[in-house]
């Protein structure tokens, strides 16, 4: 099939990276992909080029992009497509689809619904039901949000996890080299997190938990990968908490492999997350996860202590105690259990087959094989 993927933008956020992995999986199954970005091509373009995925960007002009509609309409009229995906929500872009790939359309939603009032979502899903044959979500949490706001959408909704590559288990030498790359002390215990430094990602909770751990474990250091508008405020908080000299600010990292290999524990905190790619990716590397998420789908992966530590309140004392316990008992088993759990739920081959069936118009005939098991090594 020739598949068009209309996406809001092509930066390196979680939505864009999840979409890239899905497109690569579909490519591996013999399909041709083209990306149409509603904004000028961003940092994802380099990865699209490496994968041989054609991409075209456009200017996003006017409120909600309404002045860009003629350009998008013209682009789509010149395309031949057997199937169509739209990644992310764009009400006006749906109006331009016309008859292209009718009966083989998937809307892939990646965000929680608290960002807009319910009346806007009702308008959006009212149109989406008439334009798409299926709507996917990376977690039951965010799918159920949509079904609560617009119950009638349930007939075409489906939970389809974000596909994740399965990294090879790293050696001690690999881990040491990863730490050298970022200037992290080789013998210290490293607690880290990565993401946009924005309010809802609660890096302030990370720092307050770090302060708790620092009192109990002088051998621990902390690493934060990412950037964003909260950067200066967070660095000031680290100074206030007296832990500034124990925090390594690594900035934005395009390839996260060495970052994950550097960690002993990933500490993740968030008010709202559709799924939470960072902790699940860490789990695929065999990194234990300690997390607090007030609203999100991570609990569908970390269902109990076999797979990690997850609470629904931002409690630095409880989180700090869990981190110290995890460091002191590195062979407790939840790292390997977590790795198997994350890889099973995010198996690329299984997810690609499920999406392929939707794009072939065979939604009622979905028959998905068991997820690929990883062998112990």
pLDDT tens, position by position, 299-333: 999 999 999 999 999 999 999 999 999 998 876 55
**Same domain assignment for residues 122 and 251:** no
In a domain, 372, yes or no: no
pLDDT tens column, 140-185: 999 999 999 999 999 999 999 999 988 888 899 999 999 999 999 9
Query: Residue holding tokens 């608290």?
Result: 114
Judge whether 250 and 259 are in contact, CB under 8 Å.
yes
pLDDT tops 80 at residue 42: yes
> What's the confidence (pLDDT) of residue 365?
59
Question: Residue 297: phi, psi to the nearest 5?
Answer: -100, 5
Where in the sequence is the domain holding 239, given as residue range(s)? Answer: 172-344
In a domain, 373, yes or no: no
What tokens does 322 get? 């869990």
**Same domain assignment for residues 75 and 213:** no
Q: How far apart are CA 340 and CA 315, in angstroms?
A: 28
The whole model's pTM is what? 0.89
**Same domain assignment for residues 292 and 340:** yes
Judge whether 138 and 112 are in contact, CB under 8 Å.
no
Q: How far apart are CA 265 and CA 362, in angstroms?
A: 42
**Same domain assignment for residues 39 and 84:** yes
Q: How far apart are CA 240 and CA 234, in angstroms?
A: 10
pLDDT tops 70 at residue 375: no
CATH number at residue 185: 3.40.50.2000
Beta bridge partners of 247: 222
What pLDDT band is residue 374 in, cutting at 50, 70 and 90? very low
Q: Please give the sequence-ordered ranges of beta strands (E in DSSP) within 298-358, or none if there are none.
A: 309-311
**Same domain assignment for residues 205 and 148:** no
**Same domain assignment for residues 21 and 152:** yes
> What's the confidence (pLDDT) of residue 371?
40
Q: How far apart are CA 364 and CA 377, in angstroms?
A: 39
pLDDT tens column, 61-70: 887 777 888 8
In a domain, 377, yes or no: no
> What's the confidence (pLDDT) of residue 333?
57
**Same domain assignment for residues 14 and 122:** yes
CA torsion sign for 208, 213, 216, 219 is: negative
**Same domain assignment for residues 259 and 299:** yes
320-324 long-range Cβ contacts below 8 angstroms, 24+ apart: 320/209, 320/212, 320/213, 320/216, 321/212, 322/290, 323/191, 323/209, 323/213, 323/265, 323/267, 323/290, 324/213, 324/216, 324/217
Q: Please give the sequence-ordered ranges of beta strands (E in DSSP) within 52-140, or none if there are none.
A: 54-57, 83-87, 105-108, 134-137
**Same domain assignment for residues 197 and 333:** yes
> What's the confidence (pLDDT) of residue 376?
33
What's the average model confidence in pLDDT over 131-141? 95
**Same domain assignment for residues 101 and 216:** no
What's the average model confidence in pLDDT over 61-84? 87
**Same domain assignment for residues 129 and 205:** no
Question: Which helix or strand (DSSP H or E) is residue 229 part of?
Answer: none
R_g of the chain computed on alpha carbons: 21
Number of domains comprising the chain: 2
What's the average model confidence in pLDDT over 206-218? 97
Lowest mean per-residue pLDDT among 59-63, 124-128, 222-226, 340-344 = 59-63
**Same domain assignment for residues 249 and 264:** yes
Q: Please give the sequence-ordered ranges of beta strands (E in DSSP) within the chain, or none if there are none.
A: 2-7, 32-37, 54-57, 83-87, 105-108, 134-137, 157-159, 189-194, 220-225, 247-251, 265-273, 289-296, 309-311
């Amino acid at each position: 099939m020739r598949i068009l993927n209309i996406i809001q933008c092509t930066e390196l956020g979680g939505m864009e990276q999840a979409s890239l992995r899905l497109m690569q999986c579909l490519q591996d199954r013999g399909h041709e992909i083209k990306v149409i970005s509603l904004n000028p091509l961003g940092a994802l373009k380099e990865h699209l080029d490496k994968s041989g995925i054609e991409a075209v960007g456009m200017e996003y002009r006017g409120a909600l992009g309404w002045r860009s509609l003629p350009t998008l309409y013209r682009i789509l009229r010149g395309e031949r497509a057997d199937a169509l995906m739209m990644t992310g929500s764009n009400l006006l872009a749906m109006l331009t689809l016309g008859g292209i790939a009718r009966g083989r359309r998937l809307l892939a939603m990646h965000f929680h619904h608290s960002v807009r009032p319910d009346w806007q979502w009702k308008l959006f899903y009212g149109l989406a039901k008439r334009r798409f044959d299926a709507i996917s979500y990376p977690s039951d949490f965010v799918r159920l949000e949509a079904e609560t706001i617009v119950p009638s959408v349930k007939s075409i909704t489906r939970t389809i996890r974000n596909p994740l590559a399965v990294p090879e288990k790293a050696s001690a030498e690999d881990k040491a080299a990863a730490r050298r790359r970022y200037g992290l002390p080789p013998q210290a215990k490293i607690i880290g997190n990565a993401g946009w430094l924005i309010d809802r990602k609660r890096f302030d909770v990370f720092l307050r938990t770090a302060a708790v751990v620092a009192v109990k474990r002088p051998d621990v250091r902390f690493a934060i990968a990412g950037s964003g508008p909260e950067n200066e405020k967070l660095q000031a908080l680290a100074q206030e908490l007296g832990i500034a000299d124990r925090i390594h600010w690594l900035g934005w990292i395009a390839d996260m492999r060495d970052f994950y290999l550097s960690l002993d524990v990933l500490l993740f905190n968030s008010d709202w997350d559709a799924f939470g790619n960072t902790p699940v990716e860490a789990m695929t590397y065999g990194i234990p996860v300690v997390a607090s998420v007030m609203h999100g789908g991570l609990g569908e992966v970390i269902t109990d202590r076999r797979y990690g530590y997850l609470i629904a309140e931002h409690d630095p004392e409880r989180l700090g105690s869990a981190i110290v316990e995890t460091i002191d008992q590195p062979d407790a088993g939840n790292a390997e259990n977590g790795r198997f759990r994350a890889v099973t739920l995010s198996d690329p081959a299984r997810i690609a087959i499920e999406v392929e069936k939707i794009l072939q118009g065979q939604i009622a005939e979905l028959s998905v094989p068991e997820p690929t098991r990883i062998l112990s090594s």
